[in-house]
């Protein structure tokens, strides 16, 4: 595109144009320079600027840009920015984009599939989707065992802490039922991918990691097929026992009155029983059964245990789980009772100072035993 040069004599000047009479006898209108007005009869040279086609180029460029951006916009919208993994018992994953809209949802277990089949979550905002999921779960009775919703937020693109915090807030706010506990975990993309590899939900995987770290479980197989609530119990059960011991034993140690000690033991044993019941209702640890035979002298204690008033000092959570047991499984309780009795007697034999420590060790052993058994059975 060569520059166009127009040369001629100024014949007229108007507001917009200068009319030139060119040497070939034709007339040409050329743009008038802004701060100049050429005189009549003046020889005038006009060099056509490139603006004429630059204008078209810019217009074309803008059009192209818009076109391209329209091409790519849907892709960027579809790209999920976060994954929200929700485990009640139904285990589902919600793909959420930057605008906090659910783009896609997938289930990790049968309950989750049912849930997604009934609850349409696509295209809704995160809070609405979570509300729906939780109301459905309530109606379907997934909260009977434990009223905990475990969620994980996994940023896929990049980590923006404030966004994640916001999401946590939305998740927590969207659960209006005060009875339901919401736990929000943060997980990295790496964890998410590892979980995918192992065909587990992120929350499961996370719990597995923790349990593995604490030595409760060894392989992923042990975790598979269990609900989060069960996993939680495996984890928290341990902690709760620790707490119970420190709470109940320490102050009463000083008194060292036997009946009190037994009481505290009872509470603990109730709890253990409870867990035993849940996890392996059918099987009982053999060694416990053995002990049962040995200890006949604790009958008096057992009779006490069945009275509800005895359970006063127990934490409400334990209390809840105790109630069904106290009516049904007196036999098992007795076993425990006996077990405790033996431990107690053992401890009594040992030094009183180390008593607490020894108790705890013993307790842990018991618990481990009780956890391992069901797992073994399954395998």
Partner 1 sequence: MIEMSNTEKAILDAQLGNELVREQLLRHYKPYVINTVGHICKRYVSWSEEETSIGLIALNKAIDTFQPEKGRTFLNYVYLLIKRDLIDFFRKEQQLQFVSLNDENEGASKNNYEIAQSIDQFQKAKQTNDLVEEILELSEALSHYKISFEELEKFSPKHKDTRFSLIEIADAFCNDEECVTYFLKKRQLATTLFSKKTGYRVKTIERHRKYIVTLILINLHPQWTQLRQFIQKGGES
Segment interacting with partner 1, rule: CB under 8 A, options 20-28, 69-77, 220-228, 355-363 = 20-28
Whose Cβ is closer to partner 1: residue 9's or residue 156's? Answer: 9
Q: State how far the Cα of 3 lies from the Cα of 138, in Å rounded to an integer.
A: 78
Q: Which helix (H) or strand (E) holds 19?
A: strand 17-21
Q: Which residues contact 342 (CB under 8 A, 6 or more apart)?
A: 291, 294, 295
β-strands 148-155, 181-186 pairing: parallel
Segment interacting with partner 1, rule: CB under 8 A, options 8-16, 127-135, 310-318, 328-336 = 8-16
Query: Residue 35 interacts with partner 1 (CB under 8 A)?
Result: yes
C-beta of 160: minimal distance to partner 1 in Å?
51
Query: Residue 41 interacts with partner 1 (CB under 8 A)?
Result: yes
Query: Residue 37 interacts with partner 1 (CB under 8 A)?
Result: yes
Q: Is 229 exposed, middle or buried (0-12, 13-18, 19+ CB in 10 A)?
A: buried
How many Cβ atoms sit within 10 Å of the Cβ of residue 115? 25
How many Cβ atoms sit within 10 Å of the Cβ of residue 253? 17
349 phi/psi in degrees, rounded to 5: -65, -40
The candidate with the shortest Cα–Cα distance to 182, out of 210, 162, 203, 199, is: 203
Q: State how far the Cα of 113 lies from the Cα of 115, in Å rounded to an integer.
A: 5
Whose Cβ is closer to partner 1: residue 18's or residue 344's? Answer: 18
Query: Residue 31 interacts with partner 1 (CB under 8 A)?
Result: no
Segment interacting with partner 1, rule: CB under 8 A, options 16-24, 201-209, 241-249, 306-314 = 16-24
Query: Residue 312 interacts with partner 1 (CB under 8 A)?
Result: no
Does the CA dihedral 320-324-330-335 come out positive or negative? Answer: negative
Question: Which residue matches tokens 């998410």?
Answer: 192
The CA-CA-CA angle for residues 269, 274, 277, to 5°, reads 120
Whose Cβ is closer to partner 1: residue 15's or residue 176's? Answer: 15
> Using the rule CB under 8 A, which residue among 7, 42, 165, 193 binds partner 1?
42
Which pair of structure tokens corresponds to residue 163?
């966004």
Query: Residue 179 interacts with partner 1 (CB under 8 A)?
Result: no
C-beta of 7: minimal distance to partner 1 in Å?
12
> Using the rule CB under 8 A, which residue among 39, 161, 309, 327 binds partner 1?
39
| SS3 state of residue 125 | strand
Segment interacting with partner 1, rule: CB under 8 A, options 4-12, 129-137, 168-176, 337-345 = 4-12
Query: Residue 324 interacts with partner 1 (CB under 8 A)?
Result: no
C-beta of 50: minimal distance to partner 1 in Å?
21
C-beta of 44: minimal distance to partner 1 in Å?
12
Whose Cβ is closer to partner 1: residue 29's or residue 356's? Answer: 29
The residue ranges that bind partner 1 (CB under 8 A) are 9-15, 17, 19, 21-29, 32, 34-42
């Amino acid at each position: 595109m060569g520059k166009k040069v127009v040369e001629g004599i100024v014949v007229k000047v108007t507001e917009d144009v200068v009319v030139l009479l060119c040497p070939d006898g034709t007339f040409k209108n050329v743009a008038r320079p802004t701060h100049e007005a050429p005189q009549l009869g003046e020889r005038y040279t006009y060099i056509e600027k490139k603006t004429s086609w630059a204008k078209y180029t810019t217009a074309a460029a803008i059009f192209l840009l818009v076109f391209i951006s329209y091409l790519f916009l849907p892709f960027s919208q579809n790209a999920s920015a976060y994954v929200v993994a929700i485990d009640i018992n139904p285990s589902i994953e919600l793909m959420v984009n930057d605008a906090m809209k659910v783009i896609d949802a997938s289930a990790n277990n049968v309950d989750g599939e049912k849930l997604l089949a009934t609850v349409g979550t696509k295209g809704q905002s995160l809070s609405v989707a979570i509300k729906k999921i939780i109301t459905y779960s309530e109606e379907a009775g997934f909260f009977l065992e434990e009223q905990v919703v475990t969620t994980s937020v996994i940023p896929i693109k990049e980590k923006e802490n404030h966004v994640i915090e916001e999401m946590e807030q939305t998740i927590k706010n969207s659960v209006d039922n005060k009875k339901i506990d919401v736990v929000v975990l943060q997980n990295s993309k790496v964890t998410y991918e590892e979980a995918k590899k192992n065909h587990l939900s992120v929350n499961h995987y996370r719990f597995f990691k923790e349990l593995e770290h604490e030595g409760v479980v060894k392989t992923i197989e042990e975790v598979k097929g269990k609900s989060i609530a069960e996993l939680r119990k495996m984890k928290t059960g341990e902690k709760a026992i620790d707490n119970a011991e420190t709470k109940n034993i320490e102050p009463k140690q000083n008194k060292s009155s036997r009946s009190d000690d037994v009481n505290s033991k009872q509470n603990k044993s109730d709890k253990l029983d409870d867990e035993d019941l849940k996890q392996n209702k059918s099987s009982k640890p053999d060694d416990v059964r053995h002990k049962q035979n040995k200890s006949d002298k604790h009958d008096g204690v057992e009779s006490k245990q069945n009275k509800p008033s005895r359970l006063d000092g127990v934490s409400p959570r334990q209390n809840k789980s105790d109630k069904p047991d106290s009516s049904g499984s007196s036999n098992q309780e007795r076993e425990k009772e006996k077990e405790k009795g033996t431990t107690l007697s053992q401890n009594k034999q040992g030094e009183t100072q180390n008593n607490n420590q020894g108790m705890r060790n013993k307790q842990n052993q018991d618990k481990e035993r009780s956890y391992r058994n069901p797992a073994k059975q399954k395998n």
